[in-house]
Each structure stands twice: as structure tokens, then as C-alpha cells.
Amino acid sequence: MSEMTSTTTEIFDPYDYDFHEDPYPVYARLRDEAPLYHNVSDDFWALSRHADVHAALKNDTVFSNRMGVSLDASAWNQDAHRVMSFLALDGKEQTRLRKLVSAGFTPRRVRDLVPGVQALADHYLDRLLVANEDHGEVDWIAELAGKLPMDVISQMIGVAEADRDEVRRLADLMVHREDGVRDVPEAGMAAALELISYYVTMVAERRKRPGDDLTSALVRAEIDGDRLHDGEIIAFLILLVVAGNETTTKLLGNALLHLGANPAQAEDVFTGPDLVGAWVEETLRHDTSTQMLARYVAEDVELHGQVVPAGSKLLVLIGSANRDERVFTAPTVFDIHRSPDELAKSMSFGVGRHFCLGANLARLEARVVLEELVRRTSGLEVHSERAVRVHSTNVRGFAELPVTFTRRA
């Protein structure tokens, strides 16, 4: 079939529930038939091939983050950086903030989180396995995956232990999507404001009495006399919630779903040498939580023979790039035995100046939790027919995932 550079909406509707159930056949059509796709009714463009996604993410001059990274009109505006910090900035402004923040977010600081993450994994797994025995199954999201990532963030930034349940409730409400996928519901805005006000108080306290947490490190951070002011610190704390909570929850859920659907590989994971790292990486490639990122086209650009005008909104489809048959062998197959070289080509944590600041932390959380799970259990059955999917253009994964675990004797 000849390449179409522009079509009506019949191929790709990112708000369509069927698309959320299984976006991959749609991506395959886009890659083959419309590698530059123009959705006329919602007025956005999309790139789906690995090479194009990589090039667009690298070229942050033309493909800007300045309007935010979400497709939704409600989150697309010049002020996106007020809640998304440097994720929604370019050039020098992004470099400055990311540098200052990185001073508090070093690899050592992330490594130091291991005992805390392990304690949380033990805590939630203890309860989960008791519930599993009592009821014959458990909801992996409610019991662990939906809680641990936000608790890790709270631990890292120094939220008092007594406040962590409430902070998690607000963080979850902030991205709550009721039955629709387009609009930020009012409850979400109210929760965001409450969380911001909690962080305002916390930052003020750390300015008075600094401790050993990330917030205190951000208060202290200084490069050549330049420091972060309160608004910048608070925007970064909110960014951690937006970027690091739901994404990691979805990774933990998707990992179980795909291992459950592949009994031979589950057997390898539960009986063989340590394959947890490979299991996590293949989950990230095969079915990543961040399927697409939006970009603002800063100047006219020619792609696949067509000019995309300045001012356009363009989606880079990471979920599609990770399944591109031009790069991956048998891309639709979930295979934890893929070579590290191939896995390294997956772009789940982005590319270039906005490469995920929390990639090491997300990997660490997944490894600690899943290694502990493998130590304590000898198998799993995922009841995927009763799983409840989240409908969203921002994340891919589950709101509920019933699983039965076999406890090790």
C-alpha cells in the first residue's frame, strides 16, 4: 500500500476505548500506512516509527516541551511548567532547573533508598500474601502496585510517615479520570491545590530545620550562587508525583499481566537464575506505561514529504516505536530472553534532554518488589478477564488486577 502522509481520523483515535484495550494493531497500521499521521478532527500530528520518534525526541529545538507533554487540551498551555517544572521547559531554563535538582537527586541518593523500598515491599507483600490466602486472590494494584511508588516518593522527599496515606490519596485524586478520558475533573484540581499547600508548608519547615531528605537537599542546592526558590521546589515535588507515581504503578501491573500470560517464561522467572531485571526491561519495551508524549512544533518542519506547520501539536508514539519491526525481532512477542542490545533500543524513558530523571528509581522499585515476590512465591495466575483498565492517553495499565499467587512451601 502506498504511504499516506495525511488522513482523516479513521486510523487513530487516542480517546477510543478499543484503542486503549489494544493500541498495537493501530500503531502497526500507522507505521506502515501513515508514518506521519494527521488527525484532522482533533488537530494533532503523530510519528510512530522508531527512527522518527528517536529523531523527534532528540530535536528539542523544533519539537518543544513548552506546552506540556499531554495530548489533553486542558493540560496544554504556556503555563504547564508551573506544575510540570522543567518537564515543560526547553533550552537554558530546563538545563538550569534540571542541574539544580539533579544535585539532590544523585545516583547515591537513589541507592540510599534501597532499604526503604525493601521495607515497603516487605510491608505490602506481608499483607498481600495473607489476603491471598484468605480470599484465594488479591488485587495487585490495590494491595501493592498502587501504593508503593507514591510511598517511595514521600519517603524520598521527607513526608512525615503519619501523612503518607493522605498524601497518596491526594496524589491519586490529582490524576483521577472518572469515566471520561479527556478532562481533568474538578476533584483533581482541588486535590492538586491541597497537595501544593501541603508541600508549601513542608518546604517552609525544611528551610527552618533542614533534614536528610530530598526536599532539604533542594533547599540547599546551589550551583555558582544560583539557588532554587520555593515555587521551583514545589513545582518539582509535584512533577515527581505526575511523572513517578502512576507510571511505576502501571509498570508493576503490566509486568504481572505479561508474565501471567506466558507460563513458560513465568516458570523460568520463578525457578531459574535471576531474570527479574530482564522481565522488567521487556515489560518496559513490550507495553510501556508512557505510550505517547506531546510536543509543540516550534517551526515549520518537513516530515515524510509534508510540512507540519509551526504551532502544531505532534504526538511521539513511544509505545509504537518500541514495537517497530524495523528495529525489533518479533516485536509483538513478549520475550524476557531478548538480548540486552535489543532492549537498549526501547525508548520507554525518553531520549535526550528530558530523559527520565527517575529511570533508575523506577527500575530499582520494580526490581526490589518483584525479586521479593519471586523469593516468597512460586507462581502466579493473573485473572486478566476481570482486570480493569485505566482509560487514558497518558498512561497504560490497570486500575484493578486480580491475581492468585502460589506461596513457596
Grid cell, residue 295, equals: 510536543
Residue with cell 538545563: 95
One-letter identity of residue 301: V
Structural Rg of the chain based on CA atoms: 21
Among 71, 293, 308, 315, binds ligand HEM (CB under 6 A): 293
- For ligand HEM, the closer CB: 188 or 350: 350
Give the Cα separation of 47 and 344 in Å (integer): 20
Q: Is 296 an interacting residue with respect to ligand HEM (CB under 6 A)?
A: no
Q: Is 181 an interacting residue with respect to ligand HEM (CB under 6 A)?
A: no
Q: Is 65 an interacting residue with respect to ligand HEM (CB under 6 A)?
A: yes
User: Are the C-beta atoms of 234 and 203 separated by less than 8 Å?
Assistant: yes
Q: Is 303 an interacting residue with respect to ligand HEM (CB under 6 A)?
A: no
Give the Cα separation of 140 and 259 in Å (integer): 14
Q: Is 87 an interacting residue with respect to ligand HEM (CB under 6 A)?
A: yes
Q: Is 192 an interacting residue with respect to ligand HEM (CB under 6 A)?
A: no
Among 39, 215, 265, 290, binds ligand HEM (CB under 6 A): 290
Q: Is 199 an interacting residue with respect to ligand HEM (CB under 6 A)?
A: no
Give the Cα separation of 133 and 143 in Å (integer): 14
Q: Is 393 an interacting residue with respect to ligand HEM (CB under 6 A)?
A: no
CA neighbor of 106 nearest in space, from 217, 247, 211, 220:
217
Give the Cα separation of 207 and 89 in Å (integer): 26
User: Are the C-beta atoms of 103 and 221 separated by less than 8 Å?
Assistant: yes
Q: Which residue is nearest to ligand HEM (CB)?
A: 358
Region from 34-42, 215-223, 265-273, 348-356 binding ligand HEM, contact rule CB under 6 A: 348-356
- For ligand HEM, the closer CB: 23 or 379: 23
Terminal CA-CA length for the chain: 56
Q: Is 155 an interacting residue with respect to ligand HEM (CB under 6 A)?
A: no
Q: Is 75 an interacting residue with respect to ligand HEM (CB under 6 A)?
A: no
Residue with cell 482533533: 42
Give the Cα separation of 222 and 392 in Å (integer): 38
Give, as ranges, the residues between 358 and 377 that touch ligand HEM (CB under 6 A): 358, 361-362
Q: Is 276 an interacting residue with respect to ligand HEM (CB under 6 A)?
A: no
Q: Least separation, in Å, of the C-beta of 349 and ligand HEM? A: 5
The strand pairing partners of 357, in sequence order, are none
Binding site for ligand HEM (CB under 6 A): 65, 69, 86-87, 98, 153, 239-240, 243-244, 247-248, 251, 288-290, 293, 348-350, 354, 356-358, 361-362
